[in-house]
Amino acid sequence: MKETTRQLFARAVDAIEAADILLTNDKVDFAAGRAYYAMFYTAEALLNEKGFKFGKHGNVIGAYGQHFAKTGELDPKYHRWLLTSFDQRQIGDYAFDPNVEKKVVLQMISQAQEFLEPPKPI
């Protein structure tokens, strides 16, 4: 495994921990962002192992879909989760009156943890 990949996976673990801490302290909107970033870092790590590097979120999300979901190498649900969590992060970070639901963030954290587990082909 490449060193950059290891670092990205470590950041994903840290993001999950941060999401849990934020959620415990009723910072739901910010917890959504950390849960998204856990999935984002995981996607980046997987792409990095294939030699791909991107500078924008949309490029990472699109490349993950192209190289893992569409090929069937990994379950497409992870791509759907990444897309959905990106939308929730946008609401939490940028909406004038964000109101991300706690149950949604709990689900996002659970999905981020599953996404981070060793990849399993479908």
What share of the chain in percent tops pLDDT 90?
A: 88
Residue 121 has pLDDT above 60, yes or no: no
Q: Is residue 61 in some structural domain?
A: yes
pLDDT digits over 24-57, tens only? 999 999 999 999 999 999 999 999 999 999 989 9
What does the DSSP 8-state code read for residue 74? Answer: S
Which pLDDT score is estimated for 95? Answer: 86
Number of compact structural domains in the chain:
1
The predicted pLDDT at position 31 comes to 96
In a domain, 96, yes or no: yes
Tell me how far apart the alpha carbons of residues 44 and 53 are, in angstroms, rounded to a whole number: 7
Q: Is the pLDDT of residue 1 over 60?
A: yes
Please indicate, yes or no, if residue 120 is contained in any of the structural domains: no
Residue 119 pLDDT level (bands cut at 50, 70, 90): low
pTM value is 0.93
Domain range holding 43? 3-113
Task: For residue 62, give the CATH number of its domain.
Answer: 1.20.120.330
- Determine the pLDDT at residue 98: 81
User: Residue 80, CB half-sphere, CA atoms under 13 Å: how many?
Assistant: 3
Report yes or no on 100 lying in a domain.
Answer: yes
Tell me the residue type at 1: M
The encoded tokens of residue 38 equal: 């856990």
Let me know if residue 118 belongs to a domain: no
Does residue 68 form part of some domain? yes
d(CA 77, CA 91): 21
Widest Cα–Cα separation across the chain:
42
Rounded Cα distance between 48 and 54, Å, is 9
* Residue 10 forms part of a structural domain: yes
Residue 92, domain member (yes or no):
yes
User: pLDDT digits over 57-98, tens only?
Assistant: 999 999 999 999 999 999 999 999 999 999 999 999 888 888
pLDDT computed for residue 96 by the predictor: 81
User: How far is residue 29's CA from residue 43's CA, in Å, rounded to a whole number?
Assistant: 22
